[in-house]
Amino acid sequence: MSQLTENNAMGAESTAEQPMLKLLNVESAYGPIKAIRGVSLQVKKGEIGTVLGSNGAGKTTILKTISGIIDPRKGTVEFKGQNITARDPAFIVQQGLSHVPEGREVFPLLSVRDNLLMGAYTRKDSDGVAKDIEAVFGYFPILKERAAQDAGLLSGGQQQMLSISRALMANPDLILLDEPSLGLSPKLTKEIFEIVVRINRERGTTILLVEQNANMALNASDYGYVLENGRIVMEDTCARLREKDDIKEFYLGMKEEGMRSERRWKKKKTWR
Ligand SMILES: Nc1ncnc2c1ncn2[C@@H]1O[C@H](COP(=O)(O)OP(=O)(O)OP(=O)(O)O)[C@@H](O)[C@H]1O
Ligand SMILES: [Mg+2]
């Protein structure tokens, strides 16, 4: 049964264009430490959204709050129009939202294939599961070669591939990706980002990616947010963000006016 809700407070878009994910004024804390404050963001169906931010900005906290690992102090999280704020993580996975955590947590003593099957534990359609195993082997052929090997024996990059693949095995509508580039070589990072974009284009999976690697994230994504000290300080299409001087200087390491910029950053807080 469809329930049309009045969400004028959440913006003027028509309900026909309902975003896949919507955060409104979310605040999460660890004891007395407020990690994110007043975070509002959206990811449209079929798009790749990104949150850029440096160490400790609050990127992981945003993803943990979405997937129910942390309950927010304030604000709401909506997924496919449903309020999932502070719901149980298992419930949220069942709704079609998978989280690839920071530092790619694979089960080291399980085989690669069993790790993949763990990602599909909520599914009843064994044909679909078998098909999706073949699909992830298509994206990451090395996982097929290593299917019987313990996941703990994989390299860091291969574990990242497995972690993404395990999320895919739930056949999700939305994947949260926490810094897939962490600890990987530029070449491997590029390969993984290319596959992430293919997954988005070919399967239509919506993705929210958080990254310190702004270059990769801005090239792969449609819409981006800049997070600083737990607050969103800027948002725009990635095409436009790539052209902004602040982003070029601070995140992409491109300086047009010489040496002054680095210094200025320390003082200047206004994002334009
Ligand atoms: N378990 C925790 N207990 C206390 N404080 C925490 C905890 N986890 C994170 N924090 C703090 O919350 C803030 C945001 O952390 P978070 O991990 O979300 O940042 P991040 O953007 O993911 O950083 P990184 O790029 O290093 O992964 C930081 O100040 C961090 O020190
Ligand atoms: Mg993090």
For ligand 1, atom 31: residue with the closest CA: 56
Higher pLDDT, 13 or 42: 42
For ligand 1, atom 12: residue with the closest CA: 35
Is the pLDDT at 272 greater than 70? The verdict is: no
Domain ranges of the chain: 20-106+172-267
Ligand 1 atom at shortest distance from the alpha carbon of 212: 25
Is the pLDDT at 260 greater than 50? The verdict is: no
For ligand 1, atom 25: residue with the closest CA: 55
Task: Report how far ligand 1's centroid is from the alpha carbon of 28 (Å).
Answer: 11
pLDDT number for residue 205: 98
Inter-residue contact 55 to 34 (CB < 8 Å): no
- Check if 61 has its Cβ closer than 6 Å to any atom of ligand 1: yes
Nearest to 227 by CA among 49, 36, 83, 90: 36
- Check if 28 has its Cβ closer than 6 Å to any atom of ligand 1: no
> Which range, of 134-138, 160-164, 183-187, averages the lowest pLDDT?
183-187
Higher pLDDT, 258 or 68: 68
Any idea which ligand is nearest the CA of 64? 1
SS3 123: coil
Task: Report how far ligand 2's centroid is from the alpha carbon of 234 (Å).
Answer: 19
Residue with tokens 């290593």: 146
Inter-residue contact 214 to 34 (CB < 8 Å): no
For ligand 1, atom 24: residue with the closest CA: 55
H or E element at residue 210 = strand 206-211
Residue with tokens 């690992």: 69
Ligand 1 atom at shortest distance from the alpha carbon of 61: 18
Any idea which ligand is nearest the CA of 226? 1
Indicate the pLDDT class of residue 187, thresholds 50, 70 and 90: very high
Inter-residue contact 206 to 44 (CB < 8 Å): yes
Q: pLDDT tens for residues 193-202? A: 999 999 999 9
Inter-residue contact 22 to 42 (CB < 8 Å): yes
pLDDT number for residue 104: 83
The alpha helices in the chain, defined as continuous H runs, are 59-66, 89-94, 112-119, 126-139, 141-145, 156-168, 186-203, 214-220, 238-243, 245-250, 260-267
Inter-residue contact 27 to 37 (CB < 8 Å): yes
Is 20-106+172-267 a domain of CATH 3.40.50.300? Answer: yes
What pTM was computed for the model? 0.88
Beta strand 174-178 with 206-211: parallel, antiparallel or unpaired?
parallel
Choice from 26, 27, 28, 33 to test ligand 1 binding pocket (greatest atom count within 8 A of CB): 33
H or E element at residue 33 = strand 33-43
- Check if 55 has its Cβ closer than 6 Å to any atom of ligand 1: yes
Residues near ion ligand 2 (CB < 5 Å) are: 59-60, 102
Q: pLDDT tens for residues 216-258? A: 999 999 999 999 999 999 999 999 999 888 887 777 666 555 4
